[in-house]
Every structure is written in structure tokens, then in C-alpha cells.
Amino acid sequence: MHYKLSYIVCTRNRLPFLKINLKYLLDNLEHDEEIVVVDGNSSDGTKEYLESLYQQGKIHQYISEPDKNQAHAWNKALLMARGDLIKKIIDDDLFCFAAIRICKEFMLLHNSYDLCISDSLGTNMFNYQHISTHSDIGKYQDWKSGKIKSFLFGDVSLIVRKDSIPYLGIYDTSFEAMDYEFALRVSYLRAKIAYYTGFNALSVYNPVDSVSSNFSENILKLERRRSYSMYEYKEEISRFSKVKIFVGKTLQRLKIWKRNYPPINNVTDFPSNLDEIYSFCYRYLNEANLNKENIFLVDSEIKNV
């Protein structure tokens, strides 16, 4: 079977999120697409759940074994993928499959492009009905015009061409913030990147149990210095300030939450209304794309969708 698109998923002990995530993915899977799951030796029933899906023929590949870090896990998935294109699916985020398919068709039609990124939405589990918009169009256009040598973008919306990986490389396992290093590297290498103004994804930040919430601040500072120097990136003070404000508000909400609710011992205990959160956010994401005209920005051209 020749697959045009591989969805890759990495997870570890996050079964409630994974079940919701895979439900939406399976409901939207097309015949020329595959699902690849890398589990980091979970102990919460994830292995048994994935084995059941595999035996039913619902997922195409999976492994369950220890990972050294998140980059190690994602690299396994990248190397296992058999599709012409690869779409990363983060187990607690949401994805608009209609928008992804538009980008898929664009990338299949224009095979000189290495990557496709897009605008995205974001929220957090303490206030999930407050959804913000994130766009990297300004940085992308500055990069295209040569004003800057590299730029940052989150990989929640990323679609990568498999044949481009030998040049662009896989994730650097020496970085915790692997997606930022990857973005700076591929843009510094002058990868051919298409930008879609629609929303491919909606990030749901979970400050209690997520990879990013457990990052060491000192390590992140060190990684910023390393990667910014390597790829000649000039940090935007305004962006950094926004991040600090967001983190500060999130921590304040977390303090309030801890005062009113018992301690969390396991991800299965938080939150209790996952279905409500994700149903609301999926409706919002799909409607947001329907209510705006989306285009591709490519090589100083604008292509209507």
C-alpha cells in the first residue's frame, strides 16, 4: 500500500488524551493515510489499547518501548512513517483535518516544497473557552525577503515531506525544546516552506501534565543561547514578553486551582471534563476555518484555496 500521508503520534502514560485524539483521527482517516504510534513503555493501559487498535486494523504501526527523551520518540516515528508526507499529531492537541487535507493536496501538487506550516489557535485547560490566535506570517515574510536568516514556528501545524528529511534532518536529541531548534535549523537551511493562513491545529496547554510544563527554565535558557547562535537568530523581545505574561497568568490560575481542588496524582485525575473541553475546542477550530478565507503564501505569490 502506498500512503500519501502518515500521521505520527508519540505518547507515554496519557491514555485519556490519546483515546480522544485517536478517536477524532480515526473518524477522519482516508484510505491513502496511515497512523503510526510510538509509545514510551506506558504503564497506564496504553500498550493494551494500542495493541487492540492494531489487531482491529485501525492503526497501521506501533511500538511500545522506553525512550531516552521526546526527540528520540519522535525520530522513531519519523523513520517508521511510510507516507510521502508526514503530519505530527501531539496527543493532547486538536487538529482540523479538513485544513490538513488542503495542505496535503497542495504539497502533493507542488512537490518542490519541503514543509508546510500554518496559523494556529491556542488555549489552556483552566480556561478552555478563551481561545487565542497565533500567526507567524510576519516572521515568515521577513525570512522570505532575506531580512532574517531563520525564524521560529511551532511544529503543531507542521507537515514535512519525507524525501526532504535527508537534507533537513530529524529532531536533535540534545535539545528538550526540539521543535524550536528544528524550526531554526530548517529555515536557516533555506528549506522551501509554504505558509497556509488557515488553522491546522489548536494547542491545548496543560500546565499540570505536559512536556512543555516540565521543562527546566535553566535548560531552556541554555538551549536558546545555543540555537540562536548556531542559526543567527535575533530574539524578539515582544514575543518573549508575551510568553512570560502567558506563563504568569497560567501559574496564577494553577495556584487558584490547587487551593480549591485536591492534589493531582495522575493525569487520569485531571481534568474530569476532557470530552467537554475537546468537543468545544473542535467545534471552535472547525468553525474558525469556515469563517475565514484562507490562502497559501508561497514564493511571493498568493494562491487562493
pLDDT tens for residues 62-120?
999 999 999 999 999 999 999 999 999 999 999 999 999 999 999 999 999 999 999 99
Q: What is the pLDDT of residue 267?
A: 46
Q: What is the pLDDT of residue 264?
A: 39
Q: Between 269 and 176, where is the model more confident? A: 176
- What is the dihedral sign for C-alpha 62, 65, 71, 76? negative
Q: How confident is the model over 108-135, as a mean pLDDT?
A: 94
- Please state the pTM of the whole predicted model: 0.87
Q: What is the pLDDT of residue 1?
A: 87
Give the tens place of pLDDT for each residue, 19-58.
999 999 999 999 999 999 999 999 999 999 999 999 999 9
Residue pair 219/141 in contact by the 8 Å Cβ criterion? no
Q: How confident is the model over 151-165, as a mean pLDDT?
A: 96
Q: What is the pLDDT of residue 215?
A: 59
